[in-house]
Amino acid sequence: MPRPFLKMNGLGNDFIVVDARDTAFTPAPEQIRAWGDRASGIGFDQLISIEGSPQGDAFMRVWNNDGGTVETCGNALRCVAWYLNRDASDKTLKIDTLGGLAKARVLRADAKTGTASVDMGKPGLDWQQIPLSEEMNTERLELQVGPIDAPLYHTPVAVSMGNPHVVFFVADVNRVDVTANGSLIENHPLFPEGVNVEFAQIIDRQTIRMRVWERGAGITMACGTGACATLVAAARRGLTDRSATVIMDGGPLHIAWAENDHVIMTGPIEVEFEGTL
Give Cβ neighbours of residue 191 (< 8 Å, ≥ 6 apart).
Answer: 130, 131, 132, 133, 164, 166, 185
Instruction: Point out the catalytic residue in the list 11, 48, 50, 73.
Output: 73
**Is the Cβ–Cβ distance between 88 and 106 less than 8 Å?**
yes
73 is known as an active-site residue? yes
Q: Compute how many other C-beta atoms are within 10 angstroms of the C-beta atom of residue 7.
A: 17
Task: Give 236's contacts (C-beta < 8 A, 6+ positions apart).
Answer: 125, 139, 157
Of the residues 223, 246, 247, 253, which is catalytic? 223
Query: What residues are annotated to the active site?
Result: 73, 223
